[in-house]
Structure 1
Amino acid sequence: MTKVYLKIGEQKRIIRGHRWIYSNEIEKIEGEYKPGDIVDVYDFKNRFIGRGYINPKSKITVRLFTYRQEEINREFFKRKIEEAWQYRQKIMDTNCCRVIFGEGDFLPGLIVDKFGDYLVIQTLALGIDIHKKTIVELLDEIISPKGIYERNDVQIRELEGLKEQKGYLKGNFPTKVQIIENGIKMWVDLENGQKTGYFLDQKENRLAIAPFVKDGEVLDCFSHTGSFTLHACQFGAKHVTAVDISEHAIETIKENVLLNGFENKVDYRLGNAFDILRELQREGKKFDVTILDPPAFAKSKKALKGAIRGYKDINLRGMKITKNGGFLVTASCSHYMSPELFMEVIKDAAQDADKILRQVEFRTQSKDHPIVLNADESLYLKFGIFQVLDR
């Protein structure tokens, strides 16, 4: 088997649990290989470290499957998928959940989400895409969904030399499906919705807002398909204002609100959340709970500086329009925004808004998106609930 040798000292991060090997960490490669092939990784003293797939077109040249010298074959994938599925069955209701979370389930580059009776799959790297047929067969065998849909219409695949594509992998079914999350019914668009159709990583965090929204006026910014709006209604909010820049998103929120019988509790504002937050501040509007769940502002390290400004701006304005003693619910799904940095941004925003914050909760992503210690990329979602107090 082809051998990849690491430079002196580069093995430490890998041994501690990180599974990515970057091109600048490699000393030499011995043997012939094709992009996507399985290779063995050794340290500078010729000690075996792990086995994974290689792609010289990617900055992440090798992604490890295992720290053992074991065959990467159908039985390997079967074991890994069964372990991932058994873990989900143990920790949560599996009507809708993430079944496989890439590196968090030791299957780098593979995402599988379950929406009711249907699965959506993404194979985001060449080395996992090569095994897609086997993986789909095993998912069908282990979980027995009614259908499987591919959402590989993501730009990251181009960095791996892969085409963007989407379509049916099992069955032919309406791609607008209904799920139940925390007892709430929702429509999910598997074909055209964001990512795989819906953001499952906030599933447990949506439950966390229950004590704060009861009998309150709630603002839900970056509402997407209305998941926080629906949970706020379910938990007894008096009224919710849902904000999103997308007409399609607003129409979906309306459908979901109607589906649950909350139409008398919700109004809608179509537009840029930054602008609408400013408008609400000028109007003198105040809310008992302000929810900010924006998309990732920093999709690369270079974008971090601008992202910090964006997070500070929305949180500052969110605090300004929250009643004294009310609550700010705020999140960041940018991996490059560490929990420590996110907290610093919140503190700076509070200072400029002339507010005092009391931290009620600070959470991460749902348990079906497991965090592997020493693999920092697996921790990406930050979610805080703060009481906002006047000075």
Structure 2
Amino acid sequence: MDVFLSAGRERRVRTGHPWVFSNEIARVDGQAAPGDAVAVHTAKGEFLGVGHFNPQSLISIRLLSTRREDIDSADFFRERISRALAYRRTLYGDLDGLRLVYGESDFLPGLVVDRYGPVLSLQFLSLGMDKRRSLIVGALQELLQPQAIVARNDVGVRDLEGLPQQIEVLRGEVPEEVVVRENGLSFAVDILGGQKTGHFLDQKENHMALRERVAGGRVLDLFCYSGAWAVHAAHFGAREVLGIDISPGALDLARGNAARNALAQLCSFRQGDVFEVLRDLAARGERFDTIVLDPPAFVKSKKRLTEAVRGYLTINRRAIELLEPGGFLFTCSCSHHMQRDLFLDTLRQAALKARRTLRLIEVGGQALDHPVLLACPETEYLKCAILQAV
């Protein structure tokens, strides 16, 4: 099947971006069913690449190759996944907690594969990838021999592809306990019920930035989830760490992870709405030497951006008000739509409203196993700004 773009609508694809939007398509020759592989051409007939077609989605084509090749073969997926694995091994060796495939950045748009020890946790985010799950699972089984393969397809983006949200065990049996290592520390992972695919793998390098900044200090970890920031802070010498999350299940994980690393005596965890907890801490005159703000994505679509900026502004202002002089704020945004410049401007406004002077120490991004495809800015989403109150 062949798809032809409207005149002049091929420019973004020529730069290496793998998406074709529905309003860029002029015509489809042949009977292309949703999820089929199609060849993409310019209006004049010049070949641009091959990809998965879904006329029900705003992103109607996700390109997998700029060559004429069979993207429906076991060999294709085995080769692509092998390349992704080789890249991670050069970075982390045989680390047991990794993002092995990161969609567009690994030239497999719509596919995420995370490794948690003996378990692989997958997300099929596009119809094209979902229809090829047997090829993908077969390649992963051959290359990695996991004990279990799980599909964490409980994500809203599947609605846009006309796919159901669900969690499935595709192969094997998930162990009763799954524990992974990060920076020499151990963390239990909730494979079937945890956030994302079970654990946050994208903050590995940012966690290390706590070292030499928290020793002897009092630390507040907001939206603490399973306690990765809190446990790292205690490990790096904090005298006291308080973690806050609204989820009882997350707090159980966090307490278990603190105990697993022999740091339970330094870490306490409390259930609560972070916005309300911040107000309460301020009313009681509490102060902290380091505060970590790692909230879920406040903005999941561009039309909600203004509302999200208000949320980031409020929560950062309240956190800044609790900082001791010389204290550090580690504040994050995991939304692509909240781009770096806007995020930093929001932090400037938050400092102004808090009547505090802050200096920007550094801005981190997502871990190296979440590489950014330069031609596809949507693959860059995580910002971790480290600020100091002066």
The TM tier, using the shorter chain, reads: over 0.9
Residue 80 of structure 2 is matched in structure 1 by 80
Q: Does 1:314 align with 2:332?
A: no
Tell me the TM-score normalised to structure 1 length. Answer: 0.97
Q: Distance in 2 between matches of 1:230 and 1:68?
A: 47
Q: CA deviation at 1:124?
A: 1.3
In 2, Cα distance between the equivalents of 1:208 and 1:145? Answer: 32
Alpha-carbon RMSD across the aligned residues, in angstroms, is 1.1
Look up the SS of the partner of 1:46 in the other structure.
coil
Q: 2: CA distance between counterparts of 1:8 and 1:351?
A: 48
Secondary structure of 2:371's match? Answer: coil
In structure 2, the partner of 1:201 is 202
Of residues 81-90 and 10-19 in structure 1, the stretch that sits farther from structure 2 once superposed is 10-19
Q: CA deviation at 1:175?
A: 5.0
Distance 2:274 2:90 in 1: 38
In 1: Cα distance, 2:20 partner to 2:176 partner:
37
* Alpha-carbon distance change, 98 to 175 in structure 1, aligned in 2, over 3 angstroms: farther
Q: Contact 2:152 / 2:166 at 8 angstroms: preserved in 1?
A: yes
For residues 345 and 88 of structure 2, the distance between their equivalents in structure 1, rounded to whole angstroms, comes to: 33
Q: Matches of 1:360 and 1:7 in 2, distance apart? A: 46
Shift of 1:309: 0.4
Cα separation, 2, equivalents of 1:152 and 1:121: 8
Give me the whole-angstrom Cα distance separating, in 1, the residues matched to 2:385 and 2:310. Answer: 18
Once the two structures are superposed, residues 316-372 of structure 1 have per-residue CA deviations (whole angstroms, 9 ceiling, x without a partner) of 111110111110100000111011111110111111111222111111100100101
Amino acid at match of 1:6: L
The within-5 A match list for 1:31-70 is 31-70=30-69
Q: 1:274 Cα deviation (Å)?
A: 0.8
Structure 2: how far apart are the matches of 1:320 and 1:246?
25
Contact 1:176–1:190 (CA under 8 A) maintained in structure 2: no
Tell me the equivalent position of 2:289: 288
Q: What residue in structure 1 maps to residue 186 of structure 2?
A: 185
Shift of 1:269: 2.2
Partner of 2:189, secondary structure, is strand
1:161 Cα offset (Å): 2.1
Query: Could you say which residue in structure 2 is the equivalent of 1:227?
Result: 228
Q: How does 1:206-355 map to 2 (within 5 A)?
A: 206-355=207-356
Instruction: Map Cα deviations across residues 294-324 of structure 1 (whole Å, 9 max, x no partner).
Output: 0000011111111100101111111110111
Tell me if the contact between 2:53 and 2:60 (Cα under 8 Å) persists in the aligned partners.
yes
Q: Which amino acid aligns with 1:8?
A: A
**Separation (CA, whole Å) in 2 of partners of 1:187 and 1:294:** 20
Q: Displacement, 1:176?
A: 3.5
The residue type paired with residue 193 of structure 2 is: N
Contact 1:175/1:190 (<8 A) preserved: no
Does the CA-based 8 Å contact 1:175-1:189 persist in structure 2? no
Q: Is the 8 A contact 1:82 1:142 kept in 2?
A: yes
Letter in 2 for 1:323: E
Give 2:115's aligned amino acid.
Answer: K
Partner of 2:358: 357
Partner of 1:8: 7
Output the CA distance in 2 between the equivalents of 1:74 and 1:358.
52
Equivalent residue letter for 2:304: A
* CA distance in structure 2 between the partners assigned to 1:247 and 1:173 by the alignment: 22
Unaligned runs of 5+ in 1: none
Paired with 2:315 and 2:356, the residues of 1 have a C-alpha distance of 14
Residue type of the partner of 1:86?
A
Name the CA distance, whole Å, in 2 between partners of 1:175 and 1:358: 45
Q: Is the 8 A contact 1:175 1:191 kept in 2?
A: no
Identical aligned pairs, as a percentage?
Answer: 43
Paired letter, 2:306 = K
Pick which of 172-181 and 115-124 moved more.
Answer: 172-181
2:371 matched residue in structure 1: 370
Structure 2 residue identity aligned to 1:142: L
CA drift of 1:374 comes to 2.2
* Equivalent residues, number: 388
Partner of 1:112: 113
